Chain A
């Protein structure tokens, strides 16, 4: 493990401890979690790398400002339960964040140990995961003490990370909370999008169960904008406040010929069938999904990686990610790209789709692709891909997954009076408080920011909860 030669005079430097993982060949065919988690020895070694900085820069990189040096110190001292409470002061879903947060661009990117580029940063995320998993198994399961009910009640639309965080923060202040969720399971993207092999559903379920035990009421199969509107919640049900955390769930398509052929999926549909509906268990579970032999995924983000890796696990022979820029510009987490490559996902770079070719029964059988090259940087600072004139080629495939992003789902905004949205349909809300243009209505998470991250959604839920608590003078 350690490839650094220890000089006898100096204390040996401990390298960043690797995450134990399932071996790539085996895991490419199962849905068990890829990362197996630290054990106690690894956690202690890794914790020993933290310098306990007086002015910890890592905390500035964390969107919810977890007290990182404090919790790491508690790990060193062997107080894992204490460490878990320390994290929970700021982050109510640490088992989830420890698994899906892009730490390399957040806390760990700011860590002093890694600052000079000579050493790798302290593995804060892996420690967070270890601590939170330990507490979930070995903790006494006691709930935080709850204050007397205040008589106030709040309705939350959507049970994604934004809504769940909001619910936890308010119930702890004695506010009665009801969460309305459109789907039959709670957790939003955490259960329908992010695959089991990255985030086991049992973890999300346990977090939801804890909120339920604290008294949060959940109503599933409840589509706000259809069965009731936000205005109904305020006027008829007399909620004192409503928080909208309905996510960014409206898939974008490529707008090219052949997009409605059979075998062409949005990543949302493909992942929902595979995760939420358990299509990998078909026919024991009733929902099918096309088990492609040659699968092509368009896009370069985490969602594309998830779709590609899920396809492999469903039994595809060849899975290719087609992306119009190069490896350097892939927006997905480096770790996910690495995992995908290890498992055998192929990357076809500098290539963009022109057309999906179908057969007479309406099934996709191939693609017409355009070779690209990188030109001048665009507004986002990334070099703009340009078509190479005449460089058009074809590629065989039977399944196409479009993972080029999600737009705001208009169902809630269009059915709520006096709620302002921007030109992309996202709800306009104050970034500090989550307050919308409508009285007594707050919003946060992907529905406000557009598709972002779990931790930002949690941060938004937390800020809005604080703003509500402030407004209600609790």
Chain B
């Protein structure tokens, strides 16, 4: 179980793996995630199920290297197995025919956005996807997103590809143009989601965001994943990960995400000093 069947590097520091997990593939709905442990002493980290194949019994994970666990995962090779994968977790995305749905994805957020876009498209929505990154080389999964979108707009902060500017500027452009918009789904770094909400709030557009608080169990047992939505404390792992963006306290989320900055650095240094396995998709080194 949980064997890596395929693995590739799809961008700088970004990897994609197809993993054998038949029961999870079958039960999974868009918007849900898994929690994995690489090894016996590994940390439990949440990752979105970016895609799945029920017939083959596989799920796809896409991760960005940010710390000890995600770097370690990049050294795992086809044929290796994860110690544990628990899922699916979280409340699935509410998918129905809304009309026109705009999906806004920034950076690694494009991976979790993909299954939702796919679901919204299959439900008969007119889907406009806005995908952004700092620079062309950091764009991921654009072709996947294109296949499940009616329109795709790409932007880069430095103008190296597509529209020169932020995804929020593209979104503002659509609003100013009078584009009919029934729902906005935004997933990406917290500052990006906050910026999107600043735009949609003014235009009074319903906005769903997917939050990434620190988690442990993912079943509502510990409360590590506390977020505040509309002034109320909610548990990201069971009440979310998706919430009404207009109500989310993003500043609190950013502070809570930084809670373990110190130990994380120690863990990363520790990882750098430990001999590691396969380097096939790991050219630069940590």
Contact = CB atoms under 8 A, between A and B. Distances in A.
A253 B255 contact: no
A272 interface: yes
A371 B274 CA distance: 52
Contact of A251 (B24, B85, B221): B221
Given A269-B216, A411-B238, A286 B223 contact: no
A260 interface: yes
Q: Dominant SS at the B interface?
A: mixed
Contacts of B86: 182-184, 220-223
A283 B263 contact: yes
A281 interface: yes
Contacts of B220: 249-250, 409-411
A361 B261 CA distance: 12
A110 interface: no
B41 interface: yes
A419 interface: no
A330 interface: no
A163 to B, nearest CB: 15
Greatest chain A CB density within 10 A among B23, B89, B263 is at: B263
Contacts of B44: 184, 277, 287
B270 interface: yes
Contact of B259 (A183, A221, A259, A290): A290
B219 A253 contact: no
Given A226-B88, A260-B252, A286 B217 contact: no
A268 interface: yes
Interface in A238-285: 249-251, 253, 259-260, 262-263, 265-266, 268-269, 272-273, 277-278, 281-285
Given A251-B222, A286-B267, A411-B219, A260 B233 contact: yes
A183 to B, nearest CB: 6
Contacts of B32: 226
A250 B220 CA distance: 6
Nearest to B259: A262
A188 to B, nearest CB: 10
B264 interface: yes
Interface residues of A, number: 41
A173 to B, nearest CB: 28
Greatest chain B CB density within 10 A among A228, A361, A362 is at: A362
B83 interface: yes
B166 to A, nearest CB: 26
B256 A260 contact: yes
Interface string B199-228: 000000000000000001111111110101
B48 to A, nearest CB: 15
A260 B255 CA distance: 10
Contacts of A288: 260, 263-264, 267
Contacts of A220: 84, 86
Nearest to A287: B43
Contact of A184 (B37, B238, B263, B264): B37
A156 B256 CA distance: 36
B85 A282 contact: no
Given A277-B43, A282-B263, A282-B267, A227 B87 contact: yes
A287 B37 CA distance: 11
A249 to B, nearest CB: 4
B156 interface: no
A410 B235 CA distance: 12
A249 B69 CA distance: 27
Interface string B73-104: 00000000001111111000000000000000
Given A221-B86, A283-B68, 19 more contacts: A182-B219, A182-B221, A183-B217, A220-B86, A222-B86, A223-B86, A223-B87, A226-B32, A226-B88, A227-B23, A228-B27, A250-B220, A251-B223, A265-B223, A282-B263, A283-B263, A286-B68, A287-B216, A362-B256
Interface of B: 23-24, 27, 32, 37, 41-44, 68-69, 83-89, 216-224, 226, 228, 233, 238, 252, 255-256, 258-260, 263-264, 266-267, 270
A-B pairs, 3 with minimum CB distance: A362-B255, A288-B263, A221-B86
